[in-house]
Structure 1
Amino acid sequence: MIALSFSLIAMMEAVGNRAVLPAAFFYGAAAGPVALLLAIHDRTALGASVPPITLAGMFLFGGGVALLIGGYLDSVLIPDKHSPSILRVGWIEEPAKLVPPLAVALTGRHLVKAAGVALGLSCATGFAIMESMSYAWKSIHADAGVVEAGTVLFLRGLTTPFGHLIWTGLVCAVAFGAWQARGRVTVTLPVVAAVVTAAVLHSLNDGLLVLDIPGAARLLFLVVAVVSYWLFHRATRDLKRKVVLEPVPSRA
């Protein structure tokens, strides 16, 4: 997907066909999140826990609803993205991404941990891809070239999988695990702690990348990514792919 994205950008630069820009941006924005989804599914088989049509809807519409809520509140509560107000972003976008999975949970359907994580990851994937594409378009409108926009997508493709997806997946793992045990949606201390943890990690990540701090300190965002994935992996380590052994045919 990364190779296809850069190939489309190279073709556009060569012949000037800007009609391929949306496709180039989509493949660039989706490469990292899709790769992580496949890796998680290979470990846990989460994709089989929810009907494909439900996952597709969560990706297309859940991600869009989360972006609608988060985008509005970001504009209202974070007037300057390069000021300390950026530290509010995690407290805005993490709850926004939980709204669609919570709406499904409140119906009483798919109220199991594996399904909850799958729904959360699908919603976060839609959110992350559309947000990355918006950053690429924004860079072009800021007089950056298409190649620079492709670079933005490439860098975000490396970071968003260990950000948006992991933070939402962590909260959903804790929340749906608790709700599965209780048989209903309820607010518990572990659920609140998971939301707070995701919000803090998200805000730290964005603050390290955006605020005017020494260059070496910016590398701490890698620590945030590692800690985020470690927490997600611990929260989902009980979700393992079931191995079905084929019967060995007996010799006549």
Structure 2
Amino acid sequence: MWIAMIALSFSLIAMMESVGNQAVLPAAFFYGAAAGPVALLLAIHDRTAIGVSVPSITLAGMFLFGGGVALLIGGYFDSVLIPDKNGPSILRVGWIEEPAKLVPPLAVALTGRHLTKAAGVALGLSCATGFAIMESMSYAWKSLHADDGVVGAGTVLFLRGLTTPFSHLAWTGLVCAVVFGVWQARGRVTVTPSVVAALAGAAVLHSLNDGLLVLDIPRAARLLFLVVAAVSYWLFHRATRDLNRKVIPDLAPSRA
């Protein structure tokens, strides 16, 4: 899936460069931005089958609107609380965007429906995927208008496609695995030390990741973001290792 979507993205960019048809740019950017997150979603579902823990219409809504709401909230407070995107204030980003991505799954949890760990991870990953894709597309447009050209924008999408699955998806998936696991056990939405610790941990990893990529530090130190990505995914995988196909109920209606 990842290879097919990246190939389609670069094929659209190559076609645009050869004939000048800029109408395909949004499609090229979408496929490039979505390749990594969608591929990881498929891999996670193949391991856990969490996609059947929530109705498909709910997951689609969480992807389309949950991701948009999270971007709306996160984008507003990023602008207000992070005046210098290249300065130390970038270390606040995780404390803004991680709570923002939790808001849509929390809204569903407050209805009392889908209050299970599997459902929470599915909802969180859907929201994070929508958020990550739209954010990556915004970076591509920014690169395009910064005179980097379409090829430069495609390169941005390629690199973010390699990293966002192990950043945004891993962080939100980790938070939702812990948070919804607590809420499933208690039968209601509540704040516990585990909930706070999970959200704080994801925020620290998020801020550290962005700080390593943005702040003026030695190039060799920037490579530590790979360590952050590895730790982030390891924590997510560890938090979801109890989810498997045998314990996730199938929501498909039974036939007599």
Corresponding position of 2:135: 131
Aligned residues: 243
Aligned-pair Cα RMSD in Å: 0.7
Pick the structure with greater CA Rg.
1
Identical-pair percentage: 90
Corresponding position of 1:20: 24
The one-letter amino acid paired with 2:48 is: T
Task: Please state how far the C-alpha of 1:155 moved relative to its aligned partner.
Answer: 0.3
> Which residue, out of 180, 187, 199, partners 1:195?
199
The one-letter amino acid paired with 2:51 is: G
Task: Please state how far the C-alpha of 1:242 moved relative to its aligned partner.
Answer: 2.0
> Which residue, out of 144, 149, 161, partners 1:145?
149
Runs of 4+ in 1 over 6 A off after TM superposition: none
The one-letter amino acid paired with 2:10 is: F
> Which residue, out of 35, 57, 74, partners 1:31?
35
CA distance in 2, matches of 1:147, 1:234: 37
Corresponding position of 1:250: none
> Which residue, out of 94, 101, 104, partners 1:100?
104
Matched, 1:175 2:185: no
CA distance in 1, matches of 2:238, 2:145: 41
Corresponding position of 1:233: 237
Corresponding position of 2:88: 84
The one-letter amino acid paired with 2:153 is: A
Matched, 1:117 2:121: yes
**What TM-score do the two structures reach when normalised by structure 1?**
0.96
Task: Please state how far the C-alpha of 1:143 moved relative to its aligned partner.
Answer: 1.4
CA distance in 2, matches of 1:87, 1:102: 24
Corresponding position of 1:5: 9
The one-letter amino acid paired with 2:144 is: I
Task: Please state how far the C-alpha of 1:214 moved relative to its aligned partner.
Answer: 0.5
CA distance in 1, matches of 2:207, 2:24: 34
Corresponding position of 1:70: 74
Corresponding position of 1:247: none
User: Residues 98-121 of structure 1, C-alpha deviation per residue, up to 9 Å, x if partnerless?
Assistant: 000000000000000000000000
Corresponding position of 1:249: none
**What TM-score do the two structures reach when normalised by structure 2?**
0.94
Task: Please state how far the C-alpha of 1:67 moved relative to its aligned partner.
Answer: 0.2
CA distance in 2, matches of 1:163, 1:90: 11
